Amino acid sequence: MFARTLKKFVLIMMVVVVYQNWGKIEHWVNPSQAISAQSQAQAKVTLYATDWCGYCKQTRRFLDSKGIPFTEFDIEKDAAGRKAYEALGGRGIPLIDVNGTLIRGFSEEQILAALK
């Protein structure tokens, strides 16, 4: 009984780890897609976010999964990041700056459009 419960626990933990690292796994499984995404993403991307924000986490996962390098500022912990965020108008997180194009909230379509 204990062995079966342990197997279920280990399986669930493996699923969680795979889900959390899907972007990295996808690059490993299909490197050609990662390379084309990186060549497409020669843009400067800055993410203004917090640790606890669910949409910020989705944005991080999306950028990682597409191989898009980005700079992140935690607006609650980084005073300079907070000042830059406020200078851009603030009002909600995540705030994504792609070569001067501001995207408020998480939107895959808007991020990809701004990268073109």
The CA distance from 4 to 81, in Å, is: 48
As a CATH number, domain 2-115 is 3.40.30.10
Instruction: Compute the mean pLDDT over every residue in the chain, rounded to the nearest whole number.
Output: 84
Whether the bond into 69 is cis, omega within 30 of 0:
no
| Stated pTM of the model | 0.64
Every domain of the chain and the residues it spans: 2-115
Phi, psi of 113 (to 5 degrees): -65, -40
Query: In this model, does residue 19 exceed pLDDT 90?
Result: no
Structure tokens belonging to residue 52: 């606890």
Which span out of 7-11, 46-50, 108-112 was modeled with the highest average pLDDT?
46-50
In whole angstroms, what is the distance from residue 95 CA to residue 64 CA? 16
Here the tokens at position 25 are 């796994």
pLDDT given at position 36: 46
In the chain, what percentage of residues exceed pLDDT 70? 80
Residue 63 corresponds to which tokens in the numbers above? 């950028």
